[in-house]
Structure 1
Amino acid sequence: MKAMTLPAPGGLDRLAFAERADPGAPGLQQIRVALHGSSLNYHDLGIATGRMPSADGRIPLADGAGIVEAVGEGVSEFAVGDMVVSCFFPDWQDGTPTVGDFSRTPGDGIDGFAQEHVVLPATAFTHAPKGYDAVEAATITTAGLTAWRALVVDAQIKAGDTLLLLGTGGVSIWALQIAKAMGARVAISSSSDEKLARAEALGADFTLNYRSDEKWGRTVRDWTGGRGVDHVVEVGGPGTLAQSIEAVRVGGHISLIGVLTGVSGEVPTAALMGKQARLQGLIVGSRREQQEFVRALEATGIRPVIDRRFPLDRLAEAFQYEMDGSHFGKIGIEW
């Protein structure tokens, strides 16, 4: 069986196919899945470049989707032929967060999905949304579920709420689609006017170029008539947090889901306290939340925005494309 592997200490030029033993037949409570699609995330890029160290020979990619080939004894949730999609935290089934690291995250602490077949516990997957192909389904594992948890589970947004989304990557575009489906009004930022035009076509109500507007937090607050937005999906981290606090309303909510500008830095604590805003960190979500997300996707008809698809043997090229930052939405991998 072919698998894309990453020798230590990482680096895109070190990604290469290797032969791995076929995982065989599924055992008790397991399923065998023929994998056909994945999508790239910032976390995957950190592993691939070696910025986030992983085991020698690790199989990368946290997202995986494919077709069930066989089911083991005791499995009733899935049948042969079902399209399934992986879970970012395969051991976090339900309830409040129980994990705070990536020791059991595919593509990081354990082997990921850049391979032809896997045999895993059935609880490491959910059904894919009906009508999705493997690449589309794979986009929900990390980026889609992060946006869903931030907006629906944690912030509990409702029709008429106002949101600020930073950038036009996978999480932000998923958040835009979810928010519009729920009747919210959305402001979104980017350094590219072309990307902002695409966001408008998806329903964004207000757009701004943060390169030409350094005080974009105030601009967003002015858009709301001075009240501030109800919720911010904060993907930048320390370099953007001050402006996000400026943009949010008193008593609002900020989901801290990314560290694109760094892993540490100053937090304007007085401003945050004055806003009496809730700053909540989160990492993806549970299997139950993914199942709820899948039902919502089937009810609303939302389809993921996939900028470009690469074959698995061009995974290094796909990561380079991600590093260049020119994508809008998700980057897909298929085989």
Structure 2
Amino acid sequence: MKAITLQAPGGLENLQLTDLTDPGQPGTGEIRVAIHATSLNFHDLLVANGSIPTADQRIMMADGAGVVEAVGDGVTDFKPGDHVVSTFFPQWADGLAFDSVGDFRQTPGDGANGFAAEFVVRPSTHFTLAPEGWSHAEAATITTSGLTAWRALVVDAGLKAGDTVLTLGTGGVSITALQIAKSMEAKVIITSSSDEKLARASELGADHVINYRTNPDWGKAVRELTNGKGADVVIELGGPGTMAQSIEAVRVGGHIALIGVLTGREGVIPTSVLMAKQARIQGLIVGNRRQQHDFVKAMNQTGIRPVISDSFIGLNSLSEAFSHQSDGAHFGKITVAW
């Protein structure tokens, strides 16, 4: 069986196409899945380049989509031939986050072996069904970025029609958030340093776009676009370098979903402004299996399909895909299929 493993201490040059023993047939409660695609996330890149240490010869990638080949005794929710997609926190079935969801020790491609492999045998609870009619590459976008956007908007913020959403950047989370919000008849403001990407976001339905490089006071711009009110929900992906502007942009009593730390892990937060806004900052990392079920159900209902800007073919193209991701030129998701 072929797989992409990472040789410690990391670095894209240390990603290797490796021959491993086939995982065999599933035991009780398990399923055997032929994996056909993965999608790239910032977290995967941090593992690959060595910024997040992991075990030597770790099989890469948190996201995996494929076809069930066999089911073990006691498995009733899947059958051979089903198209499935992996979960980011396989131990988190439902409910609120708990201690072991506070780290990545059981997350595939980080603390546990991931899905950059031809076959896996895992407990059936590590998967959900994929949306109907989606390609494996499309389904692979659900595990991390897709579910993150869904939880931020629908589960945590309680988005409703007529709300205004501000989302930062044009990566996978932001573009999925744009699609979800528009499907729920919300208004969307999106930021980027690229006018070309902003034009593409407008084509997808963004109501307003802001180039944060030419308009660094974009928090004020958001308030102006909302007649002084501010955004009901902010999808905050930058971290400390953008948080002050996000707090400026959010309405009184609004919701800031803290998802990314692209500008660093520590910084100064204008706490007095946050208090005056009486806004909520909710940190989140992906979501649980029940939320993924709900997201898949919504995708089946709405007909939304993920935006994939770059598709690579073959397991051995993963390093090239990561290099492309590092350049930051993509719009939406990058996938690798095999």
> Is it true that 1:84 corresponds to 2:87 in the alignment?
no
SS in 2 for 1:239: helix
1:28 corresponds to: 28
List aligned pairs for 1:55-94, cutoff 5 A: 55-94=55-94
> Is it true that 1:144 corresponds to 2:116 in the alignment?
no
* Letter matched to residue 78 of structure 2: F
Shift of 1:125: 0.1
List aligned pairs for 1:213-292, cutoff 5 A: 213-292=215-294
Match of residue 114, structure 2, among 112, 115, 121: 112
Instruction: State the alpha-carbon separation in 2 of the partners of residues 268 and 53 from structure 1.
Output: 32
SS in 2 for 1:143: helix
Instruction: State the alpha-carbon separation in 1 of the partners of residues 334 and 214 from structure 2.
Output: 27
Spell out, residue by residue over 1:135-154, the C-alpha distance to the aligned partner (whole angstroms, 9 max, x if none): 10010100000000000000
Shift of 1:174: 0.4
Instruction: State the alpha-carbon separation in 1 of the partners of residues 25 and 165 from structure 2.
Output: 47
Cα RMSD, aligned residues only: 0.5
TM-score by length of 1: 1.00
SS in 1 for 2:59: coil
* Letter matched to residue 215 of structure 2: D
Q: How many corresponding residue pairs?
A: 335
1:334 corresponds to: 337
SS in 2 for 1:293: helix
Match of residue 322, structure 1, among 321, 325, 329: 325
Instruction: State the alpha-carbon separation in 2 of the partners of residues 250 and 76 from structure 1.
Output: 47
Spell out, residue by residue over 1:91-118, the C-alpha distance to the aligned partner (whole angstroms, 9 max, x if none): 0000011211100000000011000000
Instruction: State the alpha-carbon separation in 2 of the partners of residues 3 and 174 from structure 1.
Output: 29
Instruction: State the alpha-carbon separation in 1 of the partners of residues 280 and 185 from structure 2.
Output: 22
TM-score by length of 2: 0.99
1:96 corresponds to: 96
Instruction: State the alpha-carbon separation in 1 of the partners of residues 254 and 322 from structure 2.
Output: 35
Instruction: State the alpha-carbon separation in 2 of the partners of residues 10 and 268 from structure 1.
Output: 36
Structure 1 segments (4+ residues) deviating >6 Å: none
* Letter matched to residue 269 of structure 1: T
SS in 1 for 2:240: coil
| 261-270 or 25-34: bigger deviation | 261-270
* Letter matched to residue 2 of structure 2: K
Instruction: State the alpha-carbon separation in 1 of the partners of residues 266 and 5 from structure 2.
Output: 30
Instruction: State the alpha-carbon separation in 2 of the partners of residues 321 and 19 from structure 1.
Output: 25
List aligned pairs for 1:118-157, cutoff 5 A: 118-157=120-159
Shift of 1:266: 1.1
Spell out, residue by residue over 1:4-62, the C-alpha distance to the aligned partner (whole angstroms, 9 max, x if none): 01000000011111111111000001000000000000000000000111100111110
1:177 corresponds to: 179
SS in 1 for 2:201: helix
Instruction: State the alpha-carbon separation in 2 of the partners of residues 266 and 60 from structure 1.
Output: 34
Instruction: State the alpha-carbon separation in 1 of the partners of residues 138 and 317 from structure 2.
Output: 18
Q: Which runs of 5+ in 1 are unaligned?
A: none
Instruction: State the alpha-carbon separation in 1 of the partners of residues 91 and 20 from structure 2.
Output: 24
2:312 corresponds to: 310
Instruction: State the alpha-carbon separation in 2 of the partners of residues 174 and 208 from structure 1.
Output: 18
SS in 1 for 2:60: coil
Instruction: State the alpha-carbon separation in 2 of the partners of residues 2 and 326 from structure 1.
Output: 29
